[in-house]
A and B are shown apart, each in its own frame.
Chain A
């Protein structure tokens, strides 16, 4: 079947992100510019919060974000950050260390997890709130409806990708699909998932929050 570019999935490619001169920010912090500290906090606080929430849950979240930020600020002030251009990498490392340390403390208590992963994006072992559990179940129910509504062949394609963890290349080769068709399938399934989610949320009078 020829690839139909007109029906190609919408691949989100937002415009480029504005570049930041991290060296200038670092220099200003070293010079004691409090405005630069606030700028740094504004840039990173939400991102740090996001990863800490993903890994450790909502407990003590504000304190944890603050702790990470203090470590970064201290390192900058003391000149420990040798290459200011690597500021983002350093912030990531600080967050990873904080997560690892918190998990190690938990492990000491529970002995369930000895190492932390390379990725900061975790399906963590912190307990979901009752509302989050309900949301998760609703999302799974929506996914069930979407999966029931599609053909057996489409289900097999998605199952190969999401359950059996086969690569896109392997699936396309074995199922006789083009890369565009494969993306189109996922894109349409996501769209149905999103639409059904919106309908459910409307019925419940609220938006489905993120996981």
Chain B
């Protein structure tokens, strides 16, 4: 008879329990996890907590509108088909194409601004300079500014163009600059509550 001891292999960590709850744990590991769960109250309790969070979060996120922008081609892929198999819509299609062309021309000429541009700043000044298009609102995420209390943005002439308090996310800190910044170089400085500089970033607004 085997003298092998079982049940002494330690508890499951949270990552493993989460993958198990989400049914994404490799089949080869499921057996081991379940054998331990059969005899371990604390791992079962943790699994319940982890599963409650995972499933609720998944449901909540599924209900939210997808925020990633779709590929550009998807927005225009219907255009060539209209005139081909629905002649009645040819005029409407032509008008749409014309308006689109006018819009492109106006933007090219420095016309209307896009509503929102986003910037994710992770590198300090001097590294590769991130660029955003001119927009009516600029959303900036600062990846390494957890203790940020105030953000000040100055232009190349060191004139303050915007200042405000950031919003703190889970891995980043963000600001919404609801001012259309003209094209040019900018510097964003992030301060603590005591006025100490946490980081300084450089970015560019350009078409």
Contacts and interface: CB of A to CB of B under 8 A. Distances in A.
B2 A84 contact: yes
A17 B11 contact: yes
Contacts of A121: 20-21, 23, 34, 47, 51
Interface in B1-50: 1-11, 13-15, 20-25, 27, 30-31, 34-42, 44-50
B172 interface: yes
Contacts of B2: 23, 83-85
A162 B63 CA distance: 13
Residue in A1, A44, A48 whose Cβ sees the most chain B Cβ within 10 Å: A1
A155 B8 contact: no
Given A12-B13, A85-B6, A143-B59, A176 B122 contact: yes
Contacts of B23: 117, 119, 121
Interface string B134-171: 00000101011010000000000000000000010111
B1 A84 contact: yes
Contacts of B63: 144
A160 B41 CA distance: 31
Given A17-B40, A139-B56, A159-B64, 14 more contacts: A13-B11, A17-B36, A20-B8, A88-B36, A119-B20, A119-B34, A121-B23, A146-B60, A147-B57, A153-B172, A162-B22, A184-B171, A190-B49, A211-B52
B80 to A, nearest CB: 31
Contacts of A158: 57, 61
A88 B32 CA distance: 9
Given A17-B36, A143-B60, A87 B6 contact: yes
B58 A162 contact: yes
Contact of A150 (B27, B39, B170): B170
9 contacts: A12-B13, A13-B11, A47-B37, A47-B40, A139-B55, A142-B56, A147-B57, A147-B60, A185-B171
A14 B170 contact: no
B82 interface: no
A22 B6 contact: yes
Interface in A32-56: 43-44, 46-48, 50-51
B156 to A, nearest CB: 26
Contacts of A44: 38-39
A23 B3 CA distance: 6
A19 interface: yes
A88 B35 contact: yes
Contact of A189 (B1, B6, B9, B57): B57
Interface string A69-103: 00000000000000111111101100100000000
